[in-house]
Amino acid sequence: MLEAGEIDALLSVDVPQALIDGSSKKIRRLFPGYESVERDYYHRTGIFPMMHAVAVRRELADEPGLVRSVYRAFSQAKELVQQQYRDGASKQHMAVVTPWFSELFAENRALLGEDWWPYGLGANHKAVDTFLLYHYEQGLSKHRLTSEEIFVPALLDT
């Protein structure tokens, strides 16, 4: 759709194949130096955009302990993967097979800390409230929502 001109832009974690292999002269990144732009944004705002959000049906959110159990399970799974990356640093991340990956990992760790995609309200309050402000300013919500309004009450202390 990008190549055909049916859409003007795409915001996605998935990079279009035509951009990866250079087969299209019509597709480019919005910010050519996107890495430095993103690092600068983080330095200025302290916001590193979230990767995913988990939504739960209201009737399930009211089940005692369910939401907290799901939160713990996701947190434990993330910690396992992050530990693999930390352990990989001692062996120059040989499993990744990418030159200079260890240096990039070290740079990211220095900038973002040990938990580069934190879970919970406390660590994400600013990012979520900023998103909700933009959501309101762009007319996508009738009133300005807050983090506390959209987080499940059982996780407000996270």
Render pLDDT for 61-73 as a digit per residue (tens, 0 to 9): 999 999 999 999 9
Q: Mean pLDDT across the stretch 51-55?
A: 86
Q: Is residue 148 part of a domain?
A: yes
Q: Is residue 3 part of a domain?
A: no
Distance linking the first and last C-alpha atoms of the chain: 40
Q: Is residue 30 part of a domain?
A: no
CA distance 83 to 67: 24
* Percent composition of the chain: helix, strand, coil (DSSP 3-state, to 5): 55, 0, 45
Q: Is residue 26 part of a domain?
A: no
Q: Is residue 12 part of a domain?
A: no
Cα within 13 Å of Cα(44), Cβ side: 6
Q: Is residue 91 part of a domain?
A: yes
CA distance 109 to 113: 5
Residue 92 in this model has a pLDDT that exceeds 90 = no
Structural domain containing residue 85: 55-155
Q: Which residue intervals of 23-120 are DSSP H helices?
A: 34-45, 58-61, 66-88, 101-112
Q: Is residue 83 part of a domain?
A: yes
pTM for the structure as a whole:
0.79
Q: Is residue 63 part of a domain?
A: yes
Could you give the number of structural domains in the chain? 1
Considering the chain, what is the average pLDDT of its residues? 91
79, 83, 86, 91: CA torsion to nearest 10: -160
